[in-house]
Structure 1
């Protein structure tokens, strides 16, 4: 039994014992003049205690309603947290180049994504990439569920050479869906001349090349391209085999 139930039980027992206690208290002689008879005072105290009990019930009801409201608000907050996009920011290596990636690993799309970059990043970028970052800051983007926005920082060899003696943080501020925010701080020393970077593997590169070589763009969905292509090749080989003469029948 929790503490709240114990308190309520004690209160109920106390209210039940009050009339009995009053009956004994009113029979005690008092040296002071008292207006009214004991029956009158008993009736008064009964009404007064009843009013107090009603007030106590109102207080308990208000407290319960507040708790219910807080629980509903917490449930609503948890539901919104579970059913909203979550963006992350990181540096990746792809095709021997550094990319700044804002990804959406959640199941929900991120709309009206406004990305703002720190001045230190803009000033240290090669001039051919600066306009791209400035343009992105001025135009919101859309990042679907499971997708990412990528922007090239520079070739790994060039960045490792030009930034090897520098020490600054890449700051990225992202606002999306008009109410969510992301603030990322990435020290360049975490990726410049480091080998423990997020890199696309040669296998992934080969699979992409295979898809591009066997399937026409947009002919099938992305997650079925290689499978469909292999099925088409298998059907073609089976068709060719069926048209070839049977060695047993030739004899």
Structure 2
């Protein structure tokens, strides 16, 4: 209600200004109170019209410039929101991958993470007793890599508690027994795996500062796996049960074939 009244008063004042000016310039000026006036009253009327018009133009320019600045800020904010929504987002975790405990680097964003650089703490690197694994983590600080949208990359830490036998690393010609991995895992459960770095997305650079612990992802000998890993392991267990046994699927196919053959023989005997 107040805004409507204010608008009506503004329109009324704008309409009355020329009338008031015309009345003022039409009043005869007494000689005692007179002051030098250049031109005729009509000239003064023209002057005031152009003067007010100039002021109105400056006001319009001011509000136009203000509106343009607001539009620029809105466009910049929309661009920032779009970039934030579509940029790469890296998530770091520890996972079990085919019997190895690995550092998992996942890009859950919608764009590729480029120029990914990771630098691990010296305490963590010094704790790694396998030369090959240590070289991998040392080399990461001088290298950069890309993680595509929805892609995962893995860096081995150790074999898990359930592995038996010997793990061979061809490049460094090392052979590590599972007992050594188990000892390392048990003694480094609560050790902070600290690393920092950066990556690039949409010409913006994002920093990385992470601290992971083995005990946050694994509990004793229980391996916490994602759904895909569990599915693959379940399929593998279902397909192969032993060296001298048929696979479960093959057994099912043999049974189906035997039933079909029996039905066919029965139809031949009793047409």
TM-score (norm 2): 0.65
Shift of 1:110: 2.6
Q: Which of these residues, 51, 56, 60, is aligned with residue 57 of structure 1?
A: 60
> Closer, same or farther in 2 for the Cα pair 1:165/1:87, shift >3 Å?
closer
Shift of 1:159: 4.6
Cα pair 2:94 2:217 within 8 Å, conserved: no
- The structure whose Rg is larger is 2
Cα pair 1:87 1:103 within 8 Å, conserved: yes
Counterpart of 2:187 in structure 1 is 162
Cα pair 1:107 1:145 within 8 Å, conserved: yes
Name whichever of 67-76 and 200-209 sits farther off: 200-209
> Closer, same or farther in 2 for the Cα pair 1:239/1:138, shift >3 Å?
farther
> Closer, same or farther in 2 for the Cα pair 1:174/1:10, shift >3 Å?
farther
For 1:26-45, list aligned pairs within 5 A.
26=25, 27=27, 29=29, 31-36=33-38, 37-45=40-48
State the distance in 2 between where 1:107 and 1:48 align: 58
SS at match of 2:84: helix
Shift of 1:151: 1.9
> Closer, same or farther in 2 for the Cα pair 1:113/1:204, shift >3 Å?
same
For 1:97-112, list aligned pairs within 5 A.
98-112=101-115
Q: Does 1:174 align with 2:178?
A: no
TM-score (norm 1): 0.69
CA deviations on 1:59-97 (whole Å, 9 max, x unpaired) are: 222222222222222222222222222112233455676
Cα pair 1:114 1:176 within 8 Å, conserved: no
State the distance in 2 between where 1:71 and 1:136 align: 40
> Closer, same or farther in 2 for the Cα pair 1:84/1:2, shift >3 Å?
farther
For 1:227-238, list aligned pairs within 5 A.
none
For 1:21-170, list aligned pairs within 5 A.
21-26=20-25, 27=27, 29=29, 31-36=33-38, 37-92=40-95, 98-128=101-131, 129-154=133-158, 155=160, 157-159=182-184, 161-163=186-188, 168=192, 170=194
Count matched residues: 233
Shift of 1:104: 0.8
Counterpart of 2:225 in structure 1 is 200
Cα pair 1:89 1:102 within 8 Å, conserved: yes
| RMSD of aligned alpha carbons | 4.3
- Give unmatched runs, 5+ long, in structure 1: 215-229
Cα pair 2:113 2:147 within 8 Å, conserved: yes
SS at match of 1:246: helix
